[in-house]
Amino acid sequence: MSAARPSLDSVTTINDDGSRHFLHPADTRGRWTTARRIVATVLIAVFVLLPWIQIGGYPAVFLDIAERRFHLFGWTIASQEMWLLFFLLTGVGFSLFFVTALLGRVWCGWACPQTVFLEFGFRALERLIDGDAPARRRLDAAPWDTAKTTKRIVKHALFVLFAAVIAHLFLAYFVSLPQLYAMVSSAPTKHWGLFLFMMATTGLLYGNFAWFREQLCIVICPYGRLQSALVDDHSLVVGYDAIRGEPRRQGRDGAPSPSASAPAGDCIDCLRCVHVCPTGIDIRQGLQMECVACTACIDACDDVMIRLKKPRGLIRYDSLTNFAGGRTRWIRPRTVIYAVLMLLGAAVLLTVLGKVKPVAFATMRMPGGSYFVDSDAVRNQLLVRLTNKTTAPRRLTLSLVGAPAGIQSTGTDAPIEVAPMEEGLHTVIVRMPRAAYTGKFRFKIAVRDEAGGYTLEREAEFLGPDPKLLDENYWREKSTR
């Protein structure tokens, strides 16, 4: 049982002297706990399996930092297209805003890795070794005898092991599984950087899940801090039905008792909802920033109501408006604005994706001279950089577009094959017979991708001397002057 009733003026997990009050939330059973356990199992399975599932020759999600490419479910984002991630991330951000405005902190309670791994991984292990919440509190207070020391060593060894497994699985998203296996099975001296990264990540995860726990949600998480701006009285939240529950039937720990004249409400002030809360709050005091919508208090209170033969739902998912006797409005300015921004982001992303071609190319002048004057022609040498952004080889053909009559080129005849995810530099020499040269001019270099059925074009400029300098009469006259 918690030392004191939670107060809105202080944080339950911090004692008056500033030290940490370590919580041992009681276990819950019920439909919401079961549903969350199923969701957590699916999410952990997805996290573990994604690096193993191959799509198009790459893991389903592979953030290949070394090659500066991301592979997302068969879609490869080359380094030149990283800007697309801006639309992806803002789209995800607006989707989260939209979902939060409708359903409150459903992300925190159901899908956030912090909640999923803490509640259904580390806390489950702790329960297995140390027992239920009262047993854990007794163990905390017990002297350091052999039994306590053994339990602590076993628990923290398993915590470190579990943290290391999560850290390695996380790394698999960035280095691929074969590489990860090669690293794990070789000496740390061969890859010091990654070894230290793994040690640091494991240490951070261990520290977070073994000790810091709910403090991450209360003190650090920026999404938690945004809640007051994202939700309103019509958002679904985990809340207490004060109209039905008050006045409490039986005062405990100094809580007010109902007067003889007022009929008792359904809340019996048993504090079950407080004891199961992983952030140590009393939801009956109203919506608070510390509430991560884990639904533990719903199951705890439903259990009490069933025993009392009362309807469930004294604590439930509902809007503050409904709790106050009004009606939830789903369509309101913030949900409309978030939905529009979300759809706008999706539309822009799809439009931009439709315009992105599997091949990119750029032209530049070959170092050594802007142009060359041969005995019979003016010559420009260009370098064409061809980039294949796909996972299959591509055959590309170069040609000149809009060049004046008489121009000749080499390097534009045969198709060029560019290997998957590779770049190739190709030389194009453009020659203009001296007799036909009348000064610099602009033209285009085109790349035809037969498989893709499209042509890309880039502007280029043919450079040369002042045409009169190529005229022999000019030099003859100049020498006779």
Query: Which residues contact ligand SF4 (rule: CB under 6 A)?
Result: 238, 240, 245, 267-273, 276-279, 281, 283-284, 291-297, 300-301, 304, 314-315
Q: How far is the CB of 202 from ligand SF4 (least distance, A)?
A: 28
Instruction: For residue 51, give the DSSP letter.
Output: T
Measured from the CB atom, is 195 or 212 closer to ligand SF4? Answer: 212
Closest CA to 445 of 433, 434, 432, 430: 430
Quick one: 31 or 156, whose CB is closer to ligand SF4?
31
Write down the least CB distance from residue 268 to ligand SF4, Å: 5
Minimum gap (Å) between residue 246 Cβ and ligand SF4? 10
Nearer residue to ligand SF4 within complex by CB, 59 or 278:
278
Token pair belonging to 273: 């909802």
Least distance in Å: CB of 35 to ligand SF4? 13
Confirm if 117 and 166 have CB atoms less than 8 A apart: yes
Residue 281 vs 377, nearer CB to ligand SF4: 281
Integer Cα distance of 31 and 300 in angstroms? 11
Query: For ligand SF4, which is the closer residue by CB, 253 or 422?
Result: 253
Nearer to ligand SF4, 36 or 69 (CB): 36
Q: Are 273 and 315 in contact (CB under 8 A)?
A: yes
Q: Interior CA angle at 11 toward 10 and 14, to 5°?
A: 110
Q: Helical H runs in 231-295? A: 242-245, 272-275
Q: Closest distance between ligand SF4 and the C-beta of residue 302, in Å? A: 8
Q: Hey, what amino acid is at 423?
A: E
User: Rounded CA gap, 393 and 127, in Å?
Assistant: 54
Sign of the C-alpha dihedral computed for residues 318, 323, 327 and 330 taken in this order: negative
| DSSP-assigned beta bridge partners for residue 236 | 319
**Where are the alpha helices (H) located in 112-237, listed in sequence order?**
113-117, 123-130, 133-141, 146-175, 177-184, 192-207, 214-215, 222-230
Between 301 and 421, whose beta carbon lies closer to ligand SF4? Answer: 301
In the complex, the smallest distance separating the C-beta of residue 8 from ligand SF4, rounded to whole angstroms, is 13
Judged by DSSP in three states, 266 sits in coil
User: Token digits for 216?
Assistant: 């991450």
- From the CB of 291, what's the least distance to ligand SF4, in Å? 3
Cβ 135 to ligand SF4, closest distance in Å? Answer: 20
Contact (CB, 8 A) for 11 and 284: no
- Which residue, among 196, 227, 231, has the nearest Cα to 112 in the 3D structure? 227
CB of 167 or CB of 305, closer to ligand SF4: 305
Strand order through the sheet with 69-72? 61-64, 69-72, 75-77
Q: How far is the CB of 40 from ligand SF4 (least distance, A)?
A: 15
Q: Cis peptide leading into 247, omega within 30 of 0?
A: yes
* Phi and psi angles of residue 69, each rounded to the nearest 5 degrees, phi first: -140, 145
Residue 314 tokens read as: 């004294």
State the pairing for strand pair 423-433/441-449: unpaired
Q: How many Cβ atoms sit within 10 Å of the Cβ of residue 123?
A: 18
DSSP character at residue 366: P
Q: Number of C-alpha atoms within 13 angstroms, CB side, residue 283?
A: 31
Candidates 210, 213, 232; CA nearest to 221 is: 213
**Shorter beta-carbon distance to ligand SF4: residue 77 or 305:** 305
Structure tokens that stand for 446 in this block:
């085109």
Residue 335 CB, shortest distance to ligand SF4, in Å, is 22
Nearest distance from C-beta of residue 326 to ligand SF4, angstroms: 21
Give the residue carrying structure tokens 């497994």: 165
CB of 29 to ligand SF4, least distance (A): 14
Identity of the residue, 271 or 359, whose beta carbon is nearer to ligand SF4 in the bound complex: 271
Nearer to ligand SF4, 199 or 306 (CB): 306
Q: Name the residue among 382, 368, 372, 402 with its Cα closest to residue 470.
A: 372
Identity of the residue, 248 or 426, whose beta carbon is nearer to ligand SF4 in the bound complex: 248
